Amino acid sequence: MVDFVTTNTMAVAIGLFAATYLGLLIFARYRAYVALASAIIFVALGLLPVENVFGAIDWNVILMIAGTMGTVFLFIESKMPAKLADIIIEKTPNIKWAIVSLSLLAGIISAFVDNVATVIMIAPIALGVTEKLKISPVKFIIAICIASNLQGAATLVGDTTSIMLGAAAGIDFSQFFFLDGKIGLFWIVQLATVAATLVLLFATRKDTEAIEMESETVVEDLFPTVLMIGTVVLLIAISFIPNKPDISNGLVCVGLFVIGLVYYLIFKKDKSIIMRSIKDIDYFTLLLLGSLFVVIAAITHVGVVDEISKLFVSISGDNIFVIYTLIVWASVIFSAFIDNIPYVATMLPVVASISSMMGISPYLLYFGLLSGATLGGNLTPIGASANITGQGILRKAGYKVSAGEFMRLSIPYTLAAVIVGYVLVWVIWA
């Protein structure tokens, strides 16, 4: 009787989870509300005790994302990213190097700033250059989008999925650089970027028209730049503090954002920026994440995650290399067509369970998951929010980008990066 009840409960949980995922795919614009409804149903059915709901939500992740988004808004308002782009354009001899340089700048910024925000920062610079030269901005914008996605996996604050992995794996900011005496994901991403950039150089080899542009952007305030640098420095510093509270990183990010608001209120006498910056925080993503945490906790509670893990192990024949390969390339394929946030949220506990079952360090599979899921979004125009944002910017400028045109550049770029990451993660962490 107990086995029947357990099996029946698990079947209900699997069915509800499958319906949730289908809803996330079909109703992409409303996925936060789909996830919230699913979380409520899971709890209402008793698949997750009510008293476990608050603890299921990773508040460190929520606070980190909210605080970083707020600081990023102030950083964009200061016009520092646009100034950096102007300087780079001044130093580039032709269109090919302008495309590559702006993609690299987007990548550098995206390692510390949300990918979509990065595209919004850098794309207008590319549009200004191409408008002056009377050429199409399509290659520029695509390059900026895919470079932003690539570097999102480089640091703890580079992307929502990185923040989620850091929380699940117990990895601090500094451990994305060096972990257990080995190089971390940051350096692997940089080597993948080198390979992808060589592909980009080849793809733009015929774009040799000379380029000239005077720097016109004026940085209005350096304080937001100090806040951005301070976020990185403090996250590194706090990673060395033992026995710190679980929400330490989140408190750092929110605290610096609050300092920025106080600065503008007292020294700049600008009350409007407070409401604008608070309004700019992506509450939709925060609601999606919070709800997904509850959903994943529920399917873990009833044993679904363990069953999925056993399936992976069974399919692979207990072969670690096969499991690693399956996770990386399945993540690439899935993320090419669906949002990687719910996918990563689902797979993180699965990866942890597989590692525990096989008695291996989880970092190999964690890093394989993140690299595959983050880079896989670059394959298609709908695979990442940054790609969709870039297409929207082009559409407003009067340019339409077909899937074929996008993928002619994105597929070789992505495959070069994924293959390098796939090999290096295995060599270093296996």
Q: Which residues have a Cβ under 8 Å from the Cβ of 282 and sit 6 or more positions away?
A: 65, 69
Judged against a pLDDT cut of 70, whether residue 1 lies above it is answered with no
Where residue 305 falls among pLDDT bands split at 50, 70, 90? Answer: confident
Most confident of 185-194, 203-212, 342-351: 185-194
The whole-angstrom distance between residue 196's C-alpha and the CA centroid of its chain comes to: 18
Where residue 29 falls among pLDDT bands split at 50, 70, 90? Answer: confident
How far apart CA 121 and CA 127 sit, in angstroms, is 11
Quote the Cα angle for 35-39-41, to 5°.
115
- The reported pLDDT for the residue numbered 4 is 40
Tell me the residue range of the domain where 346 lies.
2-429
* Rounded-to-integer distance, Cα 25 and Cα 38, Å: 14
Cα separation, 355 vs 324, in Å, equals: 11
Number of folded domains that form the chain: 1
What average pLDDT is seen over the chain? 85
Q: What pLDDT score does 76 carry?
A: 78
- Tell me the average pLDDT across 136-155: 90
CA atoms within 13 A on the CB side of 317: 2
Q: Is 236 exposed, middle or buried (0-12, 13-18, 19+ CB in 10 A)?
A: middle
Percent of the chain at pLDDT above 90? 27
Q: Is the pLDDT of residue 5 over 60?
A: no
Using DSSP's 3-state secondary structure scheme, residue 382 falls into coil
**Ranges of H-type helices in 281-319:** 283-301, 304-316
CA distances in angstroms from 320 to 94, 178, 359, listed in the order given: 47, 23, 11
| Contact (Cβ atoms closer than 8 angstroms) between residue 322 and residue 358 | no
**Residue 152's closest CA among 317, 372, 424, 412?**
372
H-helix or E-strand spanning residue 183: strand 182-183
Asked if pLDDT for residue 328 goes beyond 80, the answer is yes
Torsion of CA 376, 381, 386, 388, to 10 degrees: -150
What tokens were used for 176? 């994305």
Whether 360 shows a pLDDT value over 90: the answer reads: no
Q: Residue 300: pLDDT band by 50, 70, 90 thresholds?
A: confident
Structure tokens at 378: 């670059």
State the CB neighbour count (10 A cutoff) for residue 261. 18
Q: Among residues of the chain, what percentage have pLDDT more than 70?
A: 97
Mind spelling out the 3-state secondary structure of 217-280? CCCCCCHHHHHHHHHHHHHHHHCCCCCCCCCHHHHHHHHHHHHHHHHHHHCCCCCHHHHHHHHH
DSSP string, 110-167: HTTS-HHHHHHHHHHHHHHHHHHHT---HHHHHHHHHHHHHHTTSSTTSSHHHHHHHH
Grade residue 286 by pLDDT with cuts at 50, 70 and 90: confident
Alpha helix segments (H runs only) across 47-133: 53-56, 59-77, 80-91, 95-110, 115-133
Q: Residue 366 — pLDDT band, cuts 50, 70, 90?
A: very high
For residue 240, pLDDT beyond 80: no
Q: How many CB atoms are located within 10 Å of the residue 119 CB?
A: 29
Which residue in 183, 162, 165, 154 sits closest to 352, CA to CA? 165
